[in-house]
Amino acid sequence: MIDEDPELAHQHALAASRSAGRVGVVRETVAITAYAVGDFALALRELRTHRRITGSDEQLPLIVDSERGVGRPDRALEEGRAVDRSTLSVPVRVQLAIAMSGARLDLGQTDRALQELEIPEADPDRAFEWSPALFSARAAVLEELGRADEAAEWERRAEIAADALDAAAGVADREVIVVEEIELIDDEGGVDVASGVIPLEDPREDSVDAADDEDVVESDGTSDDANSGGAGVEQHGEEDAR
């Protein structure tokens, strides 16, 4: 629920931390939700704890951006330079470049902010998961430099990349499927959601032996008509949108 209600999501994360404060992903979640509600000091503390527990630098861009959030762009740049970028995954490396560019803007170093975005992943003719954000960041810096035409072109490319990724992922024509849990009421009025057999006939009619009733669906996951518990979203990797 972080996108719809970040404050409530943050409260859930804090509740989790009270029960499992030594679990890396819990501290990571607290950090992310804290960042979402603008508590950058807490985000920094939790991000450092997460890195200490897991040894991972995957949230380095968020560390850099949180340093910016507490008004320390110089420290943000130090954090970003302290890690060998070749050891980072491509999406993290791109996010770090965007965060470092923002820190340069905070310091009034607009030309260097553009240099931070001069990375191989900034291919204007191909769309990857990181392309829209990277292109938009470049557009913002170009706008600051007074290069309005170039800024507009990169913003247009960001929109094209986002549309291409959505189309490749089937977002444009994806149906919304609502999966509802079927609750069964037993003879004593209790609710049974783990029953092995779900009768489709009206329960007020005379009962029919399950072995002879064609309108009986086995809910052990083997029926062609049964839904599994959830619907997964396929994540696409690098998408070529030439």
d(CA 38, CA 148): 30
d(CA 14, CA 31): 10
SS3 of the chain: helix, strand, coil, percent, to 5: 50, 5, 45
d(CA 29, CA 35): 10
pLDDT at 81: 95
Q: Which residue carries 């009034």 as its tokens?
A: 108
Tokens of 195: 């029953």
Q: Which residues contact 149 (CB under 8 A, 6 or more apart)?
A: none
pLDDT at 211: 44
User: How is 2-41 classified by DSSP, letter by letter?
Assistant: TTT-HHHHHHHHHHHHHH-TT-HHHHHHHHHHHHHTT-HH
Q: Which residue carries 């110089």 as its tokens?
A: 74
- Which one-letter DSSP state was computed for residue 68? H
Contact 9, 37 (CB under 8 A): no
pLDDT at 208: 43
The count of C-alpha atoms lying within 13 angstroms of the C-alpha of 18, restricted to the half-sphere facing its C-beta, is 6
Q: What is the mean pLDDT of each run of 10 residues along the chain (242 residues)?
A: 95 96 95 97 97 95 97 97 94 96 97 96 88 96 96 95 86 52 47 36 44 43 41 40 38
Cβ-count burial 73-89 (b if 16+ within 10 Å, e if not): bebbbebbeebeeeebe
Contact 187, 239 (CB under 8 A): no
pLDDT at 172: 56
C-alpha separations of 28 from 33, 45, 57, 79 in Å: 9, 10, 12, 18
d(CA 188, CA 178): 30
Tokens of 40: 């950058």
Nearest to residue 66, comparing CAs of 48, 50, 93? 48
Question: What backbone phi and psi angles, to 5 degrees, belong to 131?
Answer: -60, -50
